[in-house]
Each structure stands twice: as C-alpha cells, then as structure tokens.
C-alpha cells in the first residue's frame, strides 16, 4: 500500500476536483420534508450511488417507507470493517429572502480570510459525507484498496426523523456487519480543535391540544365566565419548571447521573462560559438548572422546551375572541438512563391533572429515543483521537452533544455496535438557517482526518 503521506498529498492536490464533486451534490435540492422534492431526493441518491460505484464499491439504491437509502460495500477480508453513516437530504430553505445567494447554487466565499462553502446542505450533511468519500477516493487512487473494509449507508430522511430507516436496518442487519460505526454529522470544539462526541441526548416529543368551549366565543359576552384554553395551556407550560430551572414532571430525573468530579473539572478547564455560549446569540444568563456549568446544561443534563405555541386570533388588527382551542409542541432532551416511555406516561398525567373537568386535552406522542454514550475504554476511540491529533496538532476534545441522532441508538440496539461521532462542522455553520456554510478547512482537513483514521483502524487489524 502507498504510504499515508502520499495519500494525504493526493487529497491536497485533488482539492479543486473534490470541490467540483461536492458542488454537484449540493446543487441537488434534496429536501426530504417536502413531498414536492421527492424526485430530487431520489436524484441525490442516484448521484451518490454513481460516484461510489465509480470508486469500485458494490452499490445499490434501496427503498424505505419514505426516501431511498444508498448502500455501498467494499470489504477487505481479514481486516477490521467499519460502517459509515450519513444523510443526503437537507432542510427546507425558508425564508428564501434571507439567503444572499440561491441556496442550491453552491459557491466558495471569502469571509474575513476564511474560505467557506455556502449552500444548503454544505455542513448538514453533504459536505460531511463527502469528507469520508473523498478520503476513500484518495486511498483507492494511491493504493488501489482501502486499509479496512468499508460499508457506507447514506439515508434520505434524516431531516424527517429518519422515517423508515430503523425498519430498514432491522431487516438488513446481516448486510451491516462491522466492528464500529462511524458518523460524521457532528462538529468540532472550535475551528482549530477536533472533537469526538462521546454522548448524545435522547428525545421525547409531544403535541398538546386543549379544548374548552365548542366554538370561538365573543369575549364581551363570555369574558370572565368562559374558560380560556390559552390560559389553561399557559399554566401547564409555566408549571413545567420551578424557580431554579428544574423540570417538575414527577420522576423526570430518575436515571440521571452526576458526573465524577474529575470530569467536571476537565469540562471547566475547556473554558466554556455563559458569555461564550450565549453571547453570540444575543443572550447573557443561562436559563437551566442553577449551579450547573453551561457545558453541563447543553450536553449532560436533561432539558424541557416548548417548541411552539398557538391559539386564538394572531393576524393583523384586533379580534375580541376567546379561542376554543390552544396547542403547544413540547420536547424533552434526555440523558443517561432516562426512559422515554416512562416520561411519556408521567408527562401525560402531569398535563391531564391541570386541565379543568369541563375541558379536554389531546396529547400526541411522537417516537422517542434514549440517550447514548461511548465506553471510555473503547479501543477505537483512542485510535481515532490519536489520528485526529496527528492531523490537527492538538489533542481531540471528548465531550457530549446536546442534540439527538436517533439512528445511533438503533445501531447499538439492532447491530450491537458503538458509534464514533467525528464531525468537522462549526458552531457558526448556520445549519437549518439561511446562508448555511461549511469552512473549506473543515472540508479539506476533515478529508485528511478520515484518511488518517481509516489508516489507523486498518493498522489495528
């Protein structure tokens, strides 16, 4: 096999071609949440499958209950085998008028000396997917083979809750055998410090609809006498937290563990403050549990948020009405051993006991996911950390992430394998927002990082 230096040099010299390939991928508006773009989702799957086939992977595009998955295999008998996961679908672009350039016309912009790839999906997740593909391309170009066996699984419905994917994985688990799963849908600690995400919070999501009168009422005729569902719902929402920021749903903290003192000391040494976390978004004071580090609040403590609330008249001008219904969407981020099913039961009881007897409530419970965490003695974790340090020149930070990637839990449950979450996105990438970007350095050094990690995993074998 060619030496690693030759492979890294190939990545450097082929960067312009890699960008051309990425731009072609980014130009496909594969918006999974809008049925009008189902054809473009299929087009993105076909584009990626063709690229992987050209690299010598045995590739197929396979149906799920929503958008197809791309599955590609390149085994290497006697060597370790990895399963790489990503997604080709992207978020909607609204509001379109806030984009400074059409979202599916990718471009390279220069912002204060930082070159950035700007397009919807640049960071989430097409740019990240292509860092791994380009690393494989360099190994194959220089050596004619990969240092370890590789299976690539790229889905098209991650932004739609991975609809259909767990069922597909369960039905195809015999085709997904591996030693470890690799996911590149996370980020770095800062633009110069790589990060391995060691845990993900779980998720529970609900929609609550309170109904009082059988129709909207004139507030002059009924105000003061008729029950107002917006008031009822507002009280429920207000009761979700106490004055110290703790969630008040009974049993909510069952399964939540305190971190060892040495771990808290390590996190404190990373220097994240309320100002550094909240200042860039125009805030100052943490709103969660009092006495916790900002890093704890966003990655190792559970949380509850109201994601939307509506009812009554909200258009221009006045309308003196008492609405008949009011609704809210409520989510919980879970950690450690919190049980989504137990929380759903407790939350429903919490809501119902606050609804007056002559009113009613409907509660829709969406699929929940448990939190996941890596074992700290996982040998592949040490291998990946060493490879990242070799590329970036500084030790990789190992911390948790506040978000959820439910399929990671499914990989553990269905395949029995842990997942290394290694991404190169940055906090200012504006994912899910107008003018999404991916730093050129993230794309370039991310590709070099995966080349090193694949080589190091192959050497372990």
Give me 260's structure tokens.
Answer: 């060892």
For residue 119, the number of C-alpha atoms closer than 13 Å in the C-beta half-sphere is 24
What are the C-alpha distances in Å from 410 to residues 32, 393, 399, 445?
A: 21, 34, 21, 29
CATH of domain 202-257+299-369: 3.30.70.360
- What pLDDT does 461 receive? 67
pLDDT over 70 percentage in the chain: 100
Cis omega (within 30 of 0) on the bond before 166?
no
Report the C-alpha gap between 433 and 158 in whole angstroms: 16
- Contact between 17 and 94 under an 8 Å Cβ cutoff? The reply is no
Q: Work out whether strand 69-74 and strand 58-62 pair parallel, antiparallel, or are unpaired.
A: antiparallel
The DSSP code for 432 is T
Give me 244's structure tokens.
Answer: 């110290």
- Contact between 304 and 247 under an 8 Å Cβ cutoff? The reply is yes
Q: pLDDT digit string (tens) for 389-416?
A: 999 999 999 888 888 787 898 999 899 9
Q: Work out whether strand 81-87 and strand 149-155 pair parallel, antiparallel, or are unpaired.
A: parallel
pLDDT grade for 1, boundaries at 50, 70 and 90: low
Parts of the chain belonging to CATH 3.30.70.360 = 202-257+299-369
Mean pLDDT of 283-296: 93
pLDDT at 111 over 90: no
pLDDT at 376 over 80: no
Q: pLDDT digit string (tens) for 204-235?
A: 999 999 999 999 999 999 999 999 999 999 99
- Contact between 193 and 397 under an 8 Å Cβ cutoff? The reply is yes
Q: Which of 15, 373, 55 is nearest to 198 (CA)?
A: 373
Give me 316's structure tokens.
Answer: 């221009």
Report the C-alpha gap between 178 and 180 in whole angstroms: 6
Spell out the residues 6+ positions from residue 240 whose beta carbon is closer than 8 angstroms to its own. 247, 248, 249, 304, 306, 330
Query: Which residue matches tokens 């939540």?
Result: 256
Report the C-alpha gap between 48 and 89 in whole angstroms: 12
Phi-psi region of 260 (alpha: psi -120 to 50; beta: other; left: phi over 0): beta
- Contact between 139 and 147 under an 8 Å Cβ cutoff? The reply is yes
Give me 192's structure tokens.
Answer: 């110069």
For domain 4-200+371-460, which CATH number applies: 3.50.50.60, 3.40.630.10, 3.40.50.150, 3.50.30.60? 3.40.630.10
Report the C-alpha gap between 111 and 428 in whole angstroms: 12
User: What does R_g of the chain's alpha carbons equal in angstroms?
Assistant: 24
Query: To 5 degrees, how large is the angle CA 416–CA 419–CA 421?
Result: 170
Q: pLDDT digit string (tens) for 241-275?
A: 999 999 999 999 999 999 888 889 988 988 899 99
Parts of the chain belonging to CATH 3.40.630.10 = 4-200+371-460
Mean pLDDT of 24-47: 98
Q: Which of 399, 254, 251 is nearest to 336 (CA)?
A: 254
């Amino acid at each position: 096999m060619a030496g690693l230096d030759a492979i890294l040099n190939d990545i450097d010299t082929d960067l312009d071609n890699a960008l051309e390939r990425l731009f072609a991928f980014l130009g496909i508006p594969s918006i999974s949440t809008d049925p009008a773009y189902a054809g473009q989702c299929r087009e993105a799957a076909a584009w990626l499958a063709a690229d992987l086939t050209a690299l010598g992977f045995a590739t197929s595009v396979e149906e799920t209950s929503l958008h197809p998955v791309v599955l590609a295999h390149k085994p290497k008998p006697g060597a370790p085998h990895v399963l790489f996961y990503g997604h080709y679908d992207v978020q909607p672009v609204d509001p379109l008028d806030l984009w400074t350039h059409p979202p599916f016309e990718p471009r390279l912009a220069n912002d204060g000396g930082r070159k950035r790839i700007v397009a919807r999906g640049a960071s989430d997740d097409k740019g990240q997917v292509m860092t791994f593909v380009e690393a494989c391309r360099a190994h194959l170009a220089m050596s004619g083979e990969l240092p370890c066996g590789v299976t690539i699984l790229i889905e098209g419905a991650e932004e739609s809750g991975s609809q259909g994917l767990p069922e597909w994985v369960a039905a195809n688990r015999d085709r997904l055998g591996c030693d470890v799963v690799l996911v590149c849908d996370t980020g770095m600690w800062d633009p110069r410090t790589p990060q391995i995400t060691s845990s993900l919070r779980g998720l529970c999501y609900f929609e609550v609809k309170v109904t009082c009168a059988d129709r909207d009422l004139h507030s002059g005729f009924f105000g003061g006498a008729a029950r107002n569902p917006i008031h009822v719902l507002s009280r429920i929402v207000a009761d979700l937290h106490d004055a110290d920021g703790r969630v008040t749903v009974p049993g909510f903290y069952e399964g939540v563990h305190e971190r060892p003192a040495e771990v808290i000391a390590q996190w404190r040494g990373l220097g994240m403050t309320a100002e550094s976390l909240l200042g860039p978004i125009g805030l100052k004071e943490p709103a969660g549990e009092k006495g916790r580090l900002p890093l704890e609040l966003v990655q190792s403590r559970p949380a509850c948020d109201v994601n939307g609330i509506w009812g009554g008249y909200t258009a221009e001008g006045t309308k003196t009405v008492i609405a008949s219904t009011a609704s809210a969407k409520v989510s919980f981020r879970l950690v450690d051993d919190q049980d989504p099913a137990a929380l759903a039961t407790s939350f429903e009881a919490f809501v119902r006991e606050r609804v007056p007897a002559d009113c009613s409530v409907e509660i829709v419970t969406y699929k929940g996911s448990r939190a996941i965490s890596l074992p700290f003695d996982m040998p592949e974790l040490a291998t990946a950390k060493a490879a990242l340090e070799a590329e970036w020149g500084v030790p990789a930070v190992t911390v948790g992430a506040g978000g959820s990637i439910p399929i990671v839990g499914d990989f553990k449950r269905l395949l029995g394998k842990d997942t290394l979450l290694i991404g190169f996105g940055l906090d200012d990438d504006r994912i899910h927002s107008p003018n999404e970007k991916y730093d050129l350095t993230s794309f370039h050094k991310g590709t070099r990082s995966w080349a090193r990690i694949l080589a190091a995993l192959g050497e372990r074998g």
